[in-house]
Amino acid sequence: MKEIPIGARGAYTLRVEARHLANSFKDSVLPPVFSTPYLVLIMENAALNAIKQYLEPGESAVGTHVDIRHLVATPIGREVTGHAEVIRREGRRIDFRIWATDGAEDIGSGTHERAVVSVTRLIEKMAVKYA
């Protein structure tokens, strides 16, 4: 892993479709609004995008903790963007400030932690554990 600078930023954008709505896979009585699990997805992808350029071949970073607030309901058709900024590094652990917008306002915010891993080692450990 190369040195990951504090302040490194990434983003990830998604247009809200029917499959991203809370009423499609949570509770059908909910209004047709962007679901929290997809909010987490865009924020996690933004965090990974913030550090991808610093990873060595064969490395990736897995999510280990997410703490968010979903602030605003977002309707179908809106483009939502997750943002992430590196705020701390400790060895292979990276902490991020994360937030999301829908073009009009902030729709979520929080913190996220990822750990840099060797993909080969991760696969080997899983093979031993689940073989």
The one catalytic residue in 20, 44, 101, 112 is 44
Q: Which of 3, 13, 59, 70 is catalytic?
A: 70
Contact 39, 108 (CB under 8 A): yes
Buried b / exposed e over 2-33, threshold 16 CB at 10 Å, is eebeeebbbebebebeeebbbeeeeeeeeeeb
Catalytic entry in 3, 13, 17, 36: 36
Q: For this structure, is 36 an active site residue?
A: yes
The answer to whether 113 touches 93, Cβ cutoff 8 Å, is yes
Q: Is 112 a catalytic residue?
A: no
Tell me whether residue 65 is one of the annotated catalytic residues.
no
The residues that are catalytic are 36, 44, 70
